[in-house]
Amino acid sequence: MIRFESVSKRFLDGDVERTVLRRYSFEVSDGTTVSLVGPSGSGKTTVLNLIAGLDVADSGDVLVELNGVTLSLKGMSSAARARYRRQSIGYIFQFFNLIPTLTVAENVRLPLELTGRRDLEAEALSRLDALGLAGREDSFPEQLSGGEQQRVAIARALAHRPAIILADEPTGNLDAENAGRVVDLLCEQAAAAGATLVLATHSEFVAGHAHQRLDLQR
């Protein structure tokens, strides 16, 4: 379960302070797919970063319940947040999701090495087949198309069985056909793994795949 308790987040833009989130609250239950919708600059990425512990709320708190334990992200040290991220988060960005100097298979294995879960290797690599990437294991990211790269990113984000998957415009630079395929696969795989999926998007089509919808205003 992810819960925002009247979270505020401000950024300094030069000398001007900009409030992106003002006393924002919501709750997402485990295993659901949530879409985060709003125009550019409304704070979608900010919300994802707060969930991932990459950013910390200025006031209010982000609470994450994992295996019956509730973590208050605000109270955690940066090292503890890094550990939490490593174990429980799979993050998919709009682009540059893969490490260019590692092959497809190596990119997928990387989170397993970081979490020490080598036992999940077979499962993670077999997911590549399910994502239609059979035979591309030894390719380097630059040899793949944009859609293929995003599908590898899904495999990578799911590899270590994280409880939460965060996807920030995962289809932003794909054509409609590819975008549909990637979102379908993402939702399908997340549901199969029982993970909570938070999908930031400004596309109504993508938002339509979710169980729950959160709207953000500028």
Partner 1 sequence: MSLLLRAVLRQLVAERWTTVSVVVGITLAVLSIVAVHLLAEAVKSQLDRSSPGSALGLSHMLHRGALHENDYFELRARWRVGSLASVEALVPILEGRVTARRDAKALPRRLPIRVVGLDPLALPGASRSAIPSLDGDRSWLTGSAGWISAGSDLVVGESLELPNIDGPVVIIAEVEIRSTFDDPVLLVDIGTAQRILDRPGELTRIGVLRRIEERAWMRVAERLFPGLGARRYVTDAPWKVSGYQVEVLQDNGQRLFSGAVLFNLSALSLLSVVVAGFLIHQSAVNSIRQRERVFDRLRALGIDERRLVLQVVFEGLIVALIGSVFGLVLGWWIAGWLGQLALGETASSLLDGAEGTAIAWAAGKALVFGPLVGCGSMWVAYRSVFGGVRKRRDGLLVGCLMMLGGGVSFSATGVAGAFLAIAAAALAAALLVGPALVFWAQAPRGMATLVGLLNRRNLAHRSADVRVALGGLVIALATAIGMSLMVSNFRVAFEAMLDQRLSADAYVESRVGFTEAELAELRSIVGPDSTIRVERREDGWMRAAGAGRLGASFIYDAGDVDALRRYGFPGPLPAGGILLNEPGARRHGITPGDLVEVSGSHGTLELTVVDIFRDYGASSPRVVVAPETGAALFGTTAPRAVAIAGLDSEHSTALYRFAERNEWRTRSDADVRSLALAVFDRTFRLSDALVMLAVAVAVVGLFNALVAVRLRRAHEFRLLHSMGFSVGEFLRLNLWHAGMLGVHAVLVALPLGLGIGWLLCGVLNPRAFGWSIPFSVSAEALLVPAALGLAGALLAGALPGLRTIIRGDYLDA
Our finding on whether 45 is near Mg ion (CB under 5 A) is yes
Find all residues with CB under 8 Å of 76, minimum gap 6, and list them.
53, 84
User: In the bound complex, what is the minimum distance in angstroms from residue 31's beta carbon to ligand ATP?
Assistant: 25
User: In the bound complex, what is the minimum distance in angstroms from residue 194's beta carbon to ligand ATP?
Assistant: 27
CB nearer Mg ion, residue 50 or residue 193: 50
- Contact with ligand ATP (CB under 6 A) among 14, 15, 40, 68: 40
State both tokens at 212: 């729950």
What backbone torsions phi and psi does residue 32 show, to the nearest 5 degrees? Answer: -95, 165
Our finding on whether 41 is near ligand ATP (CB under 6 A) is yes
Question: Among partner 1, ligand ATP, Mg ion, none, what binds residue 114 when CB lies within 5 to 8 Å by partner kind?
Answer: partner 1
CB nearer Mg ion, residue 4 or residue 128: 4
141-155 exposure pattern, b = at least 16 Cβ within 10 A, e = fewer: beebeebbbbbbbbb
SS3 assignment, position 38: coil
Chain residues in the site for ligand ATP (CB under 6 A)? 11, 13, 18, 20, 38, 40-46, 202
